[in-house]
Amino acid sequence: MPTDSLFQSANTLALIGWIVLALSPLSPRWSDRISGLAIPLVLSAGYTALILAFWSRAPGGFDSLPNVMQLFTFPEIALAGWVHYLAFDLLIGAWIARMARAEGIHHLLVLPLLALTFLFGPAGYLAFTLLRASRNLRAPLMTEPRT
């Protein structure tokens, strides 16, 4: 299986998504469609295909840390795990861009948060939520942009 080339393709695709998010003020609607829908969908289809094809052959499982580590010794499943990060981190990045736009948070402030989410997903989400809370304590209770 060409796991290396799939890994490269997935990375490239995700990177394009993050660049589009970084440039999202140019076209909020299209950056949402590309980075918040199309690219995560393609990555999710690839993830699902990897799971369908390789899950039953992989060692380990979800039930203990050694088992999870075992699971990731199987290349195709490690790749699937990586694609999972890429897809969901990008979805969160797109959500951050959307929420920040709706709440008038300046894009220059959003850029480092996107970078943090790109590198260390949950840390970026945490930082964004802390930023929202520091502007308005009740803001994090709103989980979708006000319409």
Q: Contact residues for other proteins (CB under 8 A)?
A: 1, 6, 45-46, 48-57, 76
Q: 44 or 129: whose CB is closer to other proteins?
A: 44
Which one, 84 or 101, has the nearer CB to other proteins? 84
Radius of gyration of the chain (CA): 17
Q: Which amino acid is at 83?
A: V
Closest distance to other proteins from the beta carbon of 52 (Å): 4
Least separation in angstroms between CB 53 and other proteins: 4
Q: What residues contact residue 22 under an 8 Å CB cut-off, 6+ apart?
A: 111, 114
Torsion 75-123-30-12 (CA) sign: negative
Give me the least distance between CB of 40 and other proteins, in Å please: 14
Q: Which residue, 1 or 109, is less far from other proteins as judged by CB?
A: 1
Residues 21, 94 contacting (CB under 8 angstroms): yes
